Amino acid sequence: MQSVEASSKQLSPEVPRVIRVGTRASTLARTQTQWVVDCLRSQGHSVAIETISTRGDDSQNVPIAQVGGDGVFVRELERSLLEHRIDAAVHSLKDLPTAETPGLTLACVPLRASPFDVLVSREHPTLESLPAGAVVGTSSIRRAVQVKALRSDVVVRGIRGNVDTRLRRLDDGEYDCIVLAGAGLERLGLAHRISQVLQPDTFWPAVAQGALVIQIRADDQPLKESLRAIDDLPTHLAVRAERSCLAALAGGCLAPIGAWASQSADGRLKIGACVLEDLGDRVHRIIASAFGPATAPEELGCIVASRLRELGADAMLARMREKGNL
């Protein structure tokens, strides 16, 4: 005969799970996270948002490379996942190291926004039309080197902070223009600020730029199934190829490596990538590409990395590290 306590447990209705979603504190991060939360709520889930401060956000007056390098915007979120303080973390995928953290998995990559960098300028609409000596703001080594390759006569000056802060500093006259990810401006409803879209083969975006990823604990199968509905397969395959290329080059999130993969109308996948080196008086740039079945994105990424290595990528990246640029 069952005890009263055991019987009551069997008869009690199951308490609905509240999915705790972690986000960084910036307006852009919260906007991106809110989109994911809205998708989960549309499926009938109860969701709570947890705002988590990261080391990268707390040290905005210091170059990223000096703050902690790869993963500086995601480590605290990952720690919260592993400690069960949150159930899911929403990241900009370009911020996430290519080596997966044990115990965690990348459960979902939604439809990608624009992968390209853009110019936001006060007066001159294009990079080409800037006057000599114009001040261009960017916090990225990859962007800075590419600006220098195209316009060696302008001044590239570092800039940190969230999108609103960078735009305010531009509007206050500290810079003539700034280079940002187009996806962030689009998601914040600020696409009207874009002066020029910078695209390959002239200007290469960061690996996985424009893509979001939802990271969860590897053993949370119910949540993984719930997130499957907002996973975009073409985006997921493309970023897998790009991240595979970056991992094979051992470049890291901050390296002057750009890549972009996309699917053609017949479903095949094309990936191109670029490695850059600042030689002081000039910029050395190598490019490679591959085209093949979308079912083998990692293999395509490795093929491109191998071709870049044949062109001297390893030595280029080693010299950049020796100079303290990475």
Catalytic residues: 95
- Count Cβ atoms below 10 Å from residue 219 Cβ, excluding itself: 10
| Cβ atoms of 253 and 208 closer than 8 Å | no
Give the integer Cα–Cα distance in Å for 274 and 324. Answer: 20
Please tell me the total number of residues recorded for the chain in this structure: 326
Print the SS3 string covering 275-322. EEEECCCCEEEEEEEEEEECCCHHHHHHHHHHHHHHCCHHHHHHHHHH
Angle between helix 313-322 and helix 297-310 axes, rounded to 10 deg: 80
How distant, in Å, are the alpha carbons of 109, 242, 318 from that of 170? 32, 31, 34
Question: HSE of 258 in the Cβ direction (CA atoms, 13 Å)?
Answer: 26
Phi, psi of 215 (to 5 degrees): -100, 135
Which amino acid is residue 16, in one-letter code? P
Pairing label, strands 135-137, 155-157: parallel
- Count Cβ atoms below 10 Å from residue 237 Cβ, excluding itself: 23
Query: Where would I find the H helices in 106-250?
Result: 141-150, 163-171, 182-187, 221-227, 233-249
Angle at 262 between CA 258 and CA 268, to 5 degrees: 130
